[in-house]
Chains A and B, each alone.
Chain A
Amino acid sequence: MAADALSKVFSALADPTRRDLVARLADGDATLTELAAPYAVSVQAVAKHLRVLSDTGLVTKPQTSQRTPLHLDADVFDLMTAWIERYRRQAEERYTRLDAVLCELPDDIEPTPPPTRARS
């Protein structure tokens, strides 16, 4: 369920127009008419993009009226952040281990190991 929801969100945001819509909704609620205004494409095309976004839960469901403001649900971003954070944490743990290795090394150690060293 969570993995599927995540795929939908990433896939929805893989489109630059939809990311732009999200960026504009992040500034505040806006109606379909307002959202569609700056684009060269039709209001219908923008409505379709908004439908993809609302399927992920990122944006409130489009109403029948074009004057109903649409709202961004930022909680969905937590899903993405949690997914990304796992990998940041792995990198963090790796470098914390490197901190410990560096701490143990004598200050006068050569920058490279001797070339003759046997490698297991």
Chain B
Amino acid sequence: MSDIAGRITEISGWVVRARANVPLALREVVLVGTERLIGEVIALDRAEATIQVYEETEGVAPGDPLFATGDPLSIELGPGLLGGIFDGMQRPLRSLADAEGDFIGRGAQMPSLDREKLWDFIPEVEAGREVHEGDVLGRVLETPVLAHPIAVPPGISGKLAWIASAGPRRIMDAIARLDDGRELTMLQKWRARVRRPVREHLVPDAPLITGQRVLDTFFPLVRGGTAAMPGGFGTGKTVTQHQLCRWAEADVIIFVGCGERGNEITQLIDELPRLVDPRTKRLLAERSILIANTSNMPVSAREASLFTGVTIGEYYRDLGYDVLLLADSLSRWAEALREISGRLGEMPAEEGYPPYLSSALAAFFERAGSVVTLSGGHGSLTIIGAISPPAGDLTEPVTRHAARFVRTFWTLDRQLAGARVFPAVSTRSSYSEVPPGVTSWWSENVSPEWAATRDGALRFLEEASLIEETARLVGVDSLPERERYLLQLSSAFQEGFLQQDAYDASDACCAPARQMTLLETFMRARSEGLEQIGKGAPVSTDFAALQRMKTEPPS
């Protein structure tokens, strides 16, 4: 790795060409220049290799050395990921700050996982046994809320010649040996761009409750499913995502800040350690991982960050956990693809994006799933991709292509956001497939009336929005009493159900049963009100009470 493998011949921004004197592989990680900047081979021809460098290349000159590593971009997997903050190529940002200071310098290399930390390893199998890929050898308590099974890496099986006794171990220490002499450690490496194997893919069918009324009730997410969340700037995308991180009922949360704002990531870094998980009463940091590649960090690392996140997600899925990954945002990631493609002089497709935008998005979303793991357990990886469509235009390529690969589509609406109705999820242009498993979950756990009530509410909202259009033309006062009433009720519904205040402790998370109670109350008010109007009686609906209900303790 210290031998010079070639010479740099050309530098144009972070695209570098080099003439190698050893065979390089496509997607191999190489080190560029005397500062050993990290790069990845993205094209090869007989004469030269094209390399995207993950760091600023200022000062690199033709003639500078190139070093080969022989390895593709790989992610370190093992105890120590939880609570971590990594950049797009999994460099540990906290340790980097301790070593390098407040600004991220160049050429800094540091192992992703702490090599010295001791974990209390407890073996669960005995020597002499036959073990296969995915089999659990033992476990460590990674954090107080999450036990981390130590499994045989994919592709490995054999007879266990020796296993370590219970006691403190470092991640590079051997914890088991097979009879062919191979040693296993707690650290696994996996190629970021390759999906991890499972025994079987299941059809995602169970709801992933988020505590957000408009999402759970109307546009539910499923465990192992995929969602896209397009929203122009100022539509509350960030707050909505933070809410999902806090309240979604997943075991492990991975947030990939991909080309977004530094201060936003800092807010997450500040808040996550202090947030208390409502169910375990423990800190959220004990089961979350942040990938932070802000907009001013190198573009190539931004492109890699999604795959870094998803590989870690698959790893915890394979350990039998329900993982939720949020990527913010796919637009910034697609722009990274576009920048790289542009620098390579590739022929662009629509709006300058490369023709492979769609297949790249598919490669990302298809790594979600509900699975039977190699060891026969169950795990899931749910992916939510936020999209920042330019000019809020939902017909732009990233939104359009993402829509083809997701089952849940949450559109954030600028008009709702303008009126400060958050989460600004449009009930008209959002949609979600509701698999039978979701309906039966609600009817078994909450109320058998769920599906009927929800459908009724959706019809009511649709009717109200048609009335609103009419009202815009003829004025509210020209409407018949029934229509006026529905309009008034729908505005109370917007205020009292759809709008959910992330900063109000009593409203930030709404349990499914409570969602159903609120929904039923509104729908009952509707039938009663319409009945009274039908009879010519005065309407008794107390709109103010309906609006306040969500923040009042349930009676």
A-B complex is real: no
| A contacts, CB < 8 Å to B | none
Residues on B close to A: CB < 8 A? Answer: none
